[in-house]
């Protein structure tokens, strides 16, 4: 819609410039042309939108320890085509470079806890008093990728804990970055941005503050049937959290059972193709 309006505007300006330019002097033509060129050069990547994302990213990058709380929701398109929303409350504590604790309560009431202590990944389910552990060294992003891709965990907006969120955005194959409007989210004045890659559209609401932070995110999976959305509302950011000793250590509760992480086998049909 935005691009449609812009295209119409550009076409209109081109038409006006042609009409005005006919009887006008050369100097006038130059002024009109410059205006057209300015708009024509305005691509889908707006520098200001990137500037805002970068400023927010720098706030995150400067913080070694921070906590945030989010309410997440996502659509799941059923076989009937109906979209049903699920969600969770998440409290995340980050201590770079390698430690994180995440407490999650799903909307169906089930709770879970995940701890990255720099050497292991722990997952604990209080209802069953069961925990699993697997060794994982390396930085947080590697650990989270492993947890998501292999162990089947959910870690929405995982790139927020990376050292350079801005680079992650660029690296996602960015094709569009637009500043849309001023917006107020939960009482906080924000810049409302629209970014796109070939996979998703993602809208960001970033607070208009000296230390800008994300207030809201909506991701639209526009190539998936039904175009489901993921939404996250940030309830609280804390860039000076108090850390207790052992906060990022997991101590198995009394009577708990340790089980293994289950990793489904990868599909094998392509192996047959490889052999041919």
Helices (H), ranges, 81-164 = 140-149
Size of the site for another protein (CB under 8 A): 91
48 is a site residue for another protein (CB under 8 A): yes
Q: What is the DSSP letter of 254?
A: T
Site for another protein in 76-105 (CB under 8 A): 76-79, 84, 86, 104
Asked if 172 interacts with another protein (CB under 8 A), we say yes
Q: Is 46 in the site for another protein (CB under 8 A)?
A: yes
Hey, which residues between 230 and 249 contact another protein (CB under 8 A)? 230, 232
113 phi/psi in degrees, rounded to 5: -140, 135
Enclosing H/E stretch for 66: strand 65-77
**Alpha helices for 24-159 (secondary structure H):** 26-41, 47-62, 140-149
| In the complex, least distance from residue 41 CB atom to another protein, rounded to whole angstroms | 4
**Region of 20-28, 56-64, 92-100, 227-235 interacting with another protein (CB under 8 A):** 227-235
Residue with tokens 């906080």: 188
Based on the shown chain and the rule CB under 8 A, indicate whether residue 214 belongs to the binding site for another protein.
Answer: no
Phi, psi of 117, deg, nearest 5: -105, 10
Q: Taking CB under 8 A as the rule, does residue 50 contact another protein?
A: yes
Q: Which is nearer to another protein, 20 or 37 (CB)?
A: 37
- The number of angstroms, rounded, from the C-alpha of 187 to the middle of its chain's C-alpha atoms is 21
Question: Looking at 57, 95, 158, 233, which residue binds another protein (CB under 8 A)?
Answer: 158
Minimum CB separation of residue 64 from another protein in Å reads 23
Task: Please say which residue, 29 or 150, places its beta carbon nearer to another protein.
Answer: 150
Which of 224, 153, 162, 176 lies closest to 49 in space, CA to CA? 176
Among 139, 197, 211, 235, binds another protein (CB under 8 A): 197
16 scored as a contact of another protein (CB under 8 A): no
Count of Cβ atoms closer than 10 Å to residue 98 Cβ:
18
Residue 275 contacts another protein per CB under 8 A: no
Name, in order, each residue with C-beta under 8 angstroms of 270's C-beta and a sequence gap of 6 or more: none
Q: Which residues contact 268 (CB under 8 A, 6 or more apart)?
A: none
Q: Which of 93, 112, 136, 207 binds another protein (CB under 8 A)?
A: 112
Per-residue binding string, another protein, 133-152, x by CB under 8 A, is ------------x--xxxxx
- Tell me: does residue 206 bind another protein (CB under 8 A): no
- Distances 13 to 20, 74, 220 between C-alpha atoms, Å: 10, 42, 33
Residue choice 265, 272, 275, 276 for contact with another protein (CB under 8 A) = 265
Closest distance to another protein from the beta carbon of 65 (Å): 23
3-state DSSP of 15-63: HHHHHHHCCCCHHHHHHHHHHHHHHHHCCCECHHHHHHHHHHHHHHHHC
Told to check if 193 binds another protein by CB under 8 A, we report no
Q: Does residue 119 interact with another protein by CB under 8 A?
A: no
Backbone phi, then psi, for 38, in 5-degree steps? Answer: -60, -45
From 20-28, 92-100, 154-162, 241-249, give the range in contact with another protein by CB under 8 A.
154-162
């Amino acid at each position: 819609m935005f691009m449609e309006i812009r295209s119409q505007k550009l076409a209109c300006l081109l038409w006006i410039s042609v009409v005005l330019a006919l009887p006008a002097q050369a100097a006038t033509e130059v002024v009109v042309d410059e205006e057209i060129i300015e708009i024509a050069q305005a691509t889908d990547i707006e520098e200001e939108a990137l500037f805002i994302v970068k400023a927010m990213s720098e706030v995150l990058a400067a913080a070694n320890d921070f906590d945030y709380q989010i309410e997440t929701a996502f659509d799941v398109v059923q076989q009937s085509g109906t979209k049903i929303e699920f969600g969770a409350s998440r409290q995340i504590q980050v201590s770079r470079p390698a430690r994180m604790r995440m407490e999650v309560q799903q909307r169906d009431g089930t709770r879970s806890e995940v701890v990255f202590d720099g050497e292991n990944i722990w997952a604990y389910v209080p209802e069953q008093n069961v925990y699993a552990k697997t060794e994982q060294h390396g930085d947080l992003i590697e650990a989270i990728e492993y947890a998501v891709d292999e162990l089947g965990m959910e870690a929405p907006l995982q790139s927020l804990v990376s050292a350079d969120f801005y680079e992650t955005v660029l690296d996602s194959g960015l094709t569009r970055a637009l500043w849309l409007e001023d917006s107020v989210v939960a009482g906080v004045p924000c810049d409302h941005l629209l970014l796109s890659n070939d996979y998703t559209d993602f809208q960001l609401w970033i607070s208009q503050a000296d230390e800008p932070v994300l207030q809201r995110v909506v991701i639209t999976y526009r190539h998936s049937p039904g175009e489901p959305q993921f939404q996250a509302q940030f309830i609280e950011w804390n860039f000076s959290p108090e850390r207790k000793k052992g906060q990022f250590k997991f101590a198995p509760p009394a009577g708990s059972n340790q089980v293994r992480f289950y990793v489904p086998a990868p599909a094998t049909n392509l192996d047959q193709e490889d052999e041919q």
